[in-house]
């Protein structure tokens, strides 16, 4: 029953995500527009959620204890990352989020920070200079 509940919630999310993607606006001319990627993501999400509804697991195993706490911490980290992008900028927010997520996956602080710095700088340069898609630099540092 829990798979069907999760599938129903994910299906509702897929439909909402796909329908609201038309509201995204971009300041540049792109033949596909900014709605294309979210709409493409909503299709597999909807199909996989239908699979959960139609063919649920008979005996699902639910995690508890430390594993559940780590999953909750990952969700909190991702929500905080989304909220922090504008105020502190892409590089700092990505560095902190990747470092924390790496720690949750078992890396030590040095490994997590190293991956965070590398990923944040590489993605910023790729999006900003190669693709020409500006990312937020942060209002706190560059007001």
Segments forming the whole domain that contains residue 140: 63-143
The gap from C-alpha 142 to its chain's centroid, in whole angstroms, comes to: 25
* 67: Cβ contacts below 8 Å, ≥ 6 apart: none
Rounded to whole angstroms, how far apart are CA atoms 65 and 116? 27
Position 29 confidence tier, pLDDT thresholds 50, 70, 90 = low
Q: 10 and 54 in one domain?
A: yes
Determine the average pLDDT of the residues in 2-7: 87
Residue 76 predicted with pLDDT over 90 = yes
Q: 67 and 30 in one domain?
A: no
* 77: Cβ contacts below 8 Å, ≥ 6 apart: 97, 100, 101, 104
Last residue of a domain, one of 62, 85, 115: 62
Determine the average pLDDT of the residues in 18-23: 80
Q: 40 and 70 in one domain?
A: no
Last residue of a domain, one of 10, 42, 62: 62
pLDDT in tens, 31-60: 666 677 788 888 999 999 999 999 888 887
Q: 89 and 51 in one domain?
A: no
Q: 84 and 40 in one domain?
A: no
Q: Which of 98, 86, 103 is nearest to 123 (CA)?
A: 98
Copy the structure tokens of residue 78. 């991702």
């Amino acid at each position: 029953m829990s798979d069907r509940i999760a599938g129903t919630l994910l299906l509702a999310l897929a439909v909402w995500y796909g329908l609201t993607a038309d509201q995204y606006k971009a300041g540049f001319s792109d033949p596909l527009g900014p709605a294309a990627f979210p709409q493409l993501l909503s299709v597999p999400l909807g199909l996989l959620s239908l699979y959960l509804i139609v063919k649920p697991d008979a005996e699902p195993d639910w995690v508890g204890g430390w594993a559940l706490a780590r999953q909750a911490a990952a969700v909190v980290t991702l929500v905080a990352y989304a909220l922090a992008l504008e105020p502190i900028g892409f590089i700092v927010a990505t560095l902190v989020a990747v470092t924390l997520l790496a720690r949750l996956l078992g890396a030590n602080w040095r490994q997590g920070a190293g991956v965070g710095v590398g990923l944040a700088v590489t993605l910023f340069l790729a999006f900003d200079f190669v693709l020409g898609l500006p990312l937020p630099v942060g209002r706190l540092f560059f007001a």
